[in-house]
Structure 1
Amino acid sequence: MRRTAIIFSLLFVISIPFDQIIGSDNTQSVEQLSNDTATDGTVINKRSVHRTGSRDTEWYSTLVDSSKNGYGAYLETPNPLAYSIDNGWVAVYRQWGGFDATAGYIGVAQSEDGEEWYVEQRVNTAYPEGVEEPDLPTATGTPQGRYPSAAVSSEQNSATAIWNEYTNGSNGGGTYGGRPMFVFDFFALGEQSNFSSVYNLNNGCATFPCDPPDLWNGNIQMVDGDDGTTRLFAAYNSWAGGTDAHMIRSLNI
């Protein structure tokens, strides 16, 4: 069995009602890059995908996209990469929007084979209540996505992105206004995509401030049950209470 290592280019800069659809005009096919180094250094060169074999594995690397302040990808709590058995991969991350742009845009990439990736740009520019950037209830009026996770069901095979927004305290509650949100793709994994509008994961955000308030750094899992029902489970810490933990579970997906 081939083992696949997927390497993301991360640029670090110091400093379920389904009634609305975001069109797929932002979807981009990603140029494939490969690793041609079999020794200590890892150099990514623009060329066709190259496979380097060894005694026990076959691997390649692909540049998917660029991320700004993508430290959440190596923390132990979020799940930025998800796999649908025999169907493909989903990656969710804080997307690079330029040196002067916010670090809070959320991008979604999906692939059937781990080689060719399709990227959905900036899925969080509008909030569930209908307000859009540059008038979002954040310190800058722009999206402030944090701690993104990917989820996908091996039964339904559609990409889902979950993250929390860093909003004003009067919106998300508490000091930091943590507000969990999600989007999902109406299409199966692959080149075609049709992402939903943004939804609240915390149904206590129907009125503001949210209750429970200030939820951050979620651990997300999508589970296919023996009864044929797929459910999403999310565990969050409330930064308003310091150590309060909250579990969110969908009825079904």
Structure 2
Amino acid sequence: KVAKYEKLPRFVEPTSFHTDIEDGTSQPVIHHSMNRDNTYYSTLVDSSTNGYGMILGSTRPIYIDEDNGWFFVFRQWAGENTTHGQLGAAYSENGMDWTNYNYLNVGFDWPPSNRQARYPSALGNPDYPYAFWNEYTTLSGSYGGRPFYTYDEFGWDGGSFAAPIDVDLQWGGTTDQWVGSPGTSFDGDNAIVNVAYNDWTRNNYFMFHSEAYDDGYLVFGEEFIIIDEPAYLEPGDASGSYNSSPAVSMTPDGFGAVGLVGLFAGGLDDNSSVTNNHTFLFKMTEDHGASWHGPSNSEPPYYNDDVYFIPDNVFEHMQNTYFTDYYDPCADTTSALTSWWSYYEFDMKLDSEGNPHITMEILPCNDSFCYYFSGDYSEV
């Protein structure tokens, strides 16, 4: 069980672990099953301190291009007694045999011992693979979150990455951008990238939209607020937020969505004018991210014309169908699970027609705690 109404902390460092690869090459790991339909393969690509690239659902650590293959980015093992802030990447034509690239976050004006390579994501287009990540600089805002990207200047499997390039050309002052979530679409031969960030000092969500593309090199326009936390959500602070970082999903044709798990203002005290549920809210685009919108309708079930959100009746059906009472064998008591709370693990993808599909972590709750079901829903 976990406490109800927990914030998502601003800064989390996963438990360190690593597995050494003796000869420096990828190694296939075959998992056999008695059922011939369930045999699958996994590959040990490289060594990582803590798997930081997959800590949140809003990051995109793997990108697959139909014609060029797989591109994977991660926080790479950098030896004993280091920050382990080395950005690693790997390329594969088939998803099993991988070529590794080391230390991609080298070459910008920051001491090597302070490079962090946090929250890496992968992206690509038919010509180039990209890596996006954050550095922890302490030079701007509370944490100095500075977003970068790099790309393989020789193309897919070229092995020659550009020095880190700023996403925010005006970075500095109070900007503190973290947990980037990028997505790409294509307007003819022009690759367009949108990347959303969670600003931990200004407690708001910002988007960057690429305005120029030249042989792999991207130039992003000025930041703009994409989801306005102070305007209609419970505000975050230095201790964390009831609202997750945003996730971006784009289709090749320019349809897209950006969304997050959030709590509308007043929801913490069951006094929201929209919904008291810890729900998923999002905006949509049909023009490659040049503009974003909500439903433009404040009638039920929308209530807020600036953002879409999952309405209460969806969750009420789930609660009435799947929730059971909880028996505590230690206290010999039974409590009714009469509410729920969504934690911060989620993902969102758009299908080929531009329809959003959302997965969320939903926990049944009593007045004080929330609980996890067993895999078959037979007990809490």
TM-score higher than 0.5: yes
Q: Are 2:177 and 2:197, in contact at CA under 8 Å, matched by a contact in 1?
A: yes
d(CA) in 2 for partners of 1:82, 1:58: 23
Of residues 173, 183, 192 in structure 2, which corresponds to 1:231? 192
Q: Secondary structure at the match of 1:204?
A: coil
Per-residue Cα deviation, 1:132-186 (whole angstroms, up to 9, x for no partner):
534xxxxxx4311110000011x22x21100010112x3xx11100000011001
Q: Does 1:163 align with 2:133?
A: yes
Of residues 16, 33, 36 in structure 2, which corresponds to 1:38? 33
Q: CA RMSD in A?
A: 2.3
Aligned partner of 1:180 in structure 2 is: 147
The structure with the larger Rg is 2
Q: Does 1:77 align with 2:78?
A: no
d(CA) in 2 for partners of 1:85, 1:121: 24
Q: Are 1:215 and 1:239, in contact at CA under 8 Å, matched by a contact in 2?
A: yes
Aligned partner of 2:209 in structure 1 is: 249
**Corresponding letter in the other structure for 1:235:** A
Q: Does 1:144 align with 2:116?
A: yes
Aligned partner of 1:222 in structure 2 is: 184
Aligned partner of 2:111 in structure 1 is: 133
**Corresponding letter in the other structure for 1:247:** M
Query: 1:229 offset after TM fit, Å?
Result: 1.0
d(CA) in 1 for partners of 2:174, 2:25: 39
Query: 1:74 offset after TM fit, Å?
Result: 3.8
Percent identity for Structure 1 against Structure 2: 33
Name structure 1 gaps, 5 residues minimum.
Answer: 1-10, 15-27, 40-52, 135-140
Aligned partner of 2:16 in structure 1 is: 13
Q: Does 1:198 align with 2:180?
A: no
Q: Secondary structure at the match of 1:119?
A: strand
Query: 1:12 offset after TM fit, Å?
Result: 4.4
Q: Determine which structure has greater relative contact order: mean sequence separation of CA pairs < 8 Å that are 6+ residues apart, divided by chain length.
A: 1
d(CA) in 1 for partners of 2:164, 2:196: 19
d(CA) in 2 for partners of 1:99, 1:147: 21
**Corresponding letter in the other structure for 2:198:** N
d(CA) in 2 for partners of 1:111, 1:29: 15
Per-residue Cα deviation, 1:202-248 (whole angstroms, up to 9, x for no partner):
1113xxxx1560000111112223x2210111001111112x11110
**Corresponding letter in the other structure for 2:54:** A
Q: Relative to structure 1, is the Cα distance of residues 198 and 73 closer, same or farther in structure 2, using a 3 angstrom cutoff?
A: same
TM-score, normalization by structure 2: 0.48
TM-score, normalization by structure 1: 0.70
Name structure 2 gaps, 5 residues minimum.
Answer: 1-13, 18-22, 214-380
